[in-house]
Structure 1
Amino acid sequence: MKIISITLLLISAFLSIKHGWDAFQPAQPAQAKMMADLGINASVVLYLGILSIILGILLFFPQTFFISNLLNAIIILLIIAFSLRAGNIKMALIEIPFLTLPLVLIWLKYPFKF
């Protein structure tokens, strides 16, 4: 169980940091259109990128593990809500597995406690 928890923790941290880093890269036309359809402008994307990187790093500390996963779940839930508001059901469905990741990590608890 601990190996699964560590693996999911590393995957979650990697995805958070990667998505945060991607916010600072030049947006591809398809990505820019998707963000515009969701009603998210470029400045908000930068703030979400910073938040995502911070949350990815905070996953590794036992004191911030729970809140980091909770905020990750809230951000993903907001993306799902914006997708549904924009009528993009496919994107909302794609985000569901990513929503389960922080929730499962909360359930498994911090893996590095002795």
Structure 2
Amino acid sequence: MKIVSIVLLLVSAFLSLKHGWDAFQPPTPQQAKMMADLGITKSFVPVVGALSIAVGLLLLFPQTFFVANVLNAVIILLIMAFSLRAGNVKTALIEIPFLCLPLLLIWLKYPFKF
């Protein structure tokens, strides 16, 4: 069980850091269209990117593990809410497994705590 928890923690931290880093890169035309469809402005993207990077780093420390997972779940819920508001049910459904990841990590607890 501990190995599963470690793997999920590393995957979650990697995804958060990657998505945060990608937010500071020039968007592809597809990404720009998706953000426009969801109603996400260009000025909001770096905020979400910085928050995602912070979450990825905070996941690695036992003192901030719970808060980082809650923030991660909130970010995913926001993406789902923006998708549903825009009428894009497919994107909202795709985010469900990603919403389960921080909740599962909270349930499994921090794996490196001695």
- Give the TM-score band, short-chain normalised: over 0.9
CA–CA separation in structure 1 for the residues paired with 2:106 and 2:2: 13
CA–CA separation in structure 1 for the residues paired with 2:19 and 2:60: 17
Give 5+ residue unaligned stretches, structure 1: none
Please state if 1:90 is matched with 2:102: no
CA–CA separation in structure 2 for the residues paired with 1:25 and 1:45: 10
2:21 is matched with which residue?
21
Q: What TM-score does the superposition give when structure 1 sets the normalisation length?
A: 0.99
Structure 1: 4+ residue segments shifted above 4 A: none
Please state if 1:43 is matched with 2:43: yes
Equivalent AA in structure 2 for residue 73 of structure 1: A
Give 5+ residue unaligned stretches, structure 2: none
| Count of aligned pairs between the two proteins | 114
CA–CA separation in structure 1 for the residues paired with 2:35 and 2:69: 23
Q: What TM-score does the superposition give when structure 2 sets the normalisation length?
A: 0.99
- Once the two structures are aligned, what percentage of the paired residues are identical? 76
CA–CA separation in structure 2 for the residues paired with 1:25 and 1:111: 32
**RMSD of equivalent CA atoms:** 0.5
1:68 is matched with which residue?
68
Structure 1 SS opposite 2:44 = helix
CA–CA separation in structure 2 for the residues paired with 1:38 and 1:51: 19
